[in-house]
């Protein structure tokens, strides 16, 4: 949840001789040369940059794959299991994801909560802390070693989503880095994250989608995954403003907590407003969910309608 280094090649050349040398070597008879047609100019079309691909190949996310992953942040077990030993976490993801590969390959997913909402203003003044480049690099390296994609999770605090996302542009131009937006933590100035539920609009989400789609076109990238998390129907309003963009695979992840019956009811309620081109996602909590019942198993998750195409464990 590796920035490209551009290589510049300078081609240089030098003449084979002086103009006087060329005149000395010219043929003594000029009759033929005076009537010869000039040789046609030759041009070489510039090479078209090759479109980059997702881990394992291909440029489309769905329906070619199902995403299964963990969330987390460094030294923050409360935010999920994607912390500490990332190699061990990747193996846990592989084991957890295996039952979900019944109808298509699983694309492992690392959801790094990169911008975390705080209870205090923090260095930015908007109640957030942002991951440094070394952290993002470490998570991207681990994701690549596991054949996974990395999603950068954004909790914007009192700020807006788009500038929070643009902060990570150098990473979003990589072919295997996408986004996970968490509007529960998007609050108004004067509010404190965690004291109230935040919210966003379809128009704000679409501004991020348009930005991502532009990066895909400019850098010939595969589709970008853009998740927006939602645990209550009021957290995202006006979803009709979302636009279906070819470079972005949109996912609405339902994040309700509780026993299986409660989670299923929340899923049905929140997913009812799913736009036709947005894919369904479902989140499970190893600790919170099991306080009131057993953790839903993969067969129960896959029985949900619509069937989730992103399954996230925290």
177-181 vs 248-254, strand pairing mode: unpaired
Measured CA to CA, the distance from residue 203 to residue 241 in angstroms comes to 5
Structural domain boundaries in the chain: 66-313
Tokens of 299: 């067969």
**Beta-strand (E) ranges in the chain?**
66-72, 106-117, 128-130, 149-154, 177-181, 200-201, 224-230, 236-237, 248-254, 279-284, 310-313
223 exposure class (CB count in 10 Å sphere: 0-12, 13-18, 19+): buried
Tell me the pLDDT band of 292, cut-offs 50, 70 and 90: confident
Mean pLDDT, the chain, rounded, equals 87
Q: What global pTM score does this model have?
A: 0.84
Multiple choice CATH, 66-313, 1.20.58, 3.40.630, 3.20.20, 1.10.150: 3.20.20
- Residue range 103-131, pLDDT digits in tens: 999 999 999 999 999 999 988 899 999 99
Write down the pLDDT at residue 240: 96
Measured CA to CA, the distance from residue 163 to residue 207 in angstroms comes to 10
241 exposure class (CB count in 10 Å sphere: 0-12, 13-18, 19+): middle
Measured CA to CA, the distance from residue 293 to residue 82 in angstroms comes to 24
- Residue range 134-180, pLDDT digits in tens: 999 999 999 999 999 999 999 999 999 999 999 999 999 999 999 99
Measured CA to CA, the distance from residue 73 to residue 246 in angstroms comes to 30
């Amino acid at each position: 949840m590796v920035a490209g280094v551009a290589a510049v090649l300078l081609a240089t050349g030098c003449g084979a001789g002086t103009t006087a040398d060329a005149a000395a070597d010219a043929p003594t008879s000029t009759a033929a040369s005076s009537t010869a047609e000039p040789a046609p100019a030759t041009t070489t079309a510039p090479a078209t940059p090759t479109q980059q691909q997702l881990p394992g190949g291909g440029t489309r996310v769905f329906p070619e794959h199902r995403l299964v992953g963990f969330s987390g942040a460094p030294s923050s077990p409360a935010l999920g299991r994607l912390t500490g030993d990332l190699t061990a976490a990747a193996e846990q993801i592989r084991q957890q994801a295996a039952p979900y590969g019944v109808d298509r390959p699983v694309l492992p997913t690392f959801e790094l909560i990169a911008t975390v909402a705080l209870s205090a203003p923090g260095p930015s003044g908007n109640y957030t802390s942002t991951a440094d480049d070394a952290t993002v690099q470490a998570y991207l390296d681990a994701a690549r070693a596991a054949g996974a994609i990395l999603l950068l999770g954004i909790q914007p605090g009192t700020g807006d989503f788009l500038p929070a996302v643009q902060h990570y542009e150098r990473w979003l131009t990589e072919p295997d880095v996408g986004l996970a937006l968490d509007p529960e933590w998007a609050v108004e100035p004067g509010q404190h994250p965690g004291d109230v539920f935040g919210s966003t609009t379809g128009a704000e989400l679409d501004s991020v989608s348009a930005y991502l789609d532009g990066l895909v076109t400019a850098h010939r990238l595969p589709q970008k995954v853009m998740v927006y998390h939602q645990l209550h129907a009021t957290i995202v309003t006006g979803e009709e403003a979302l636009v279906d963009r070819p470079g972005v695979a949109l996912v609405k992840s339902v994040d309700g907590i509780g026993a299986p019956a409660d989670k299923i009811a929340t899923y049905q309620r929140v997913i009812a407003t799913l736009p036709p081109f947005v894919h369904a996602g479902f989140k499970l909590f190893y600790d919170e969910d099991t306080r009131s019942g057993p953790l839903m198993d993969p067969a129960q998750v896959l029985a949900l309608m619509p069937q989730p195409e992103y399954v996230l464990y925290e």
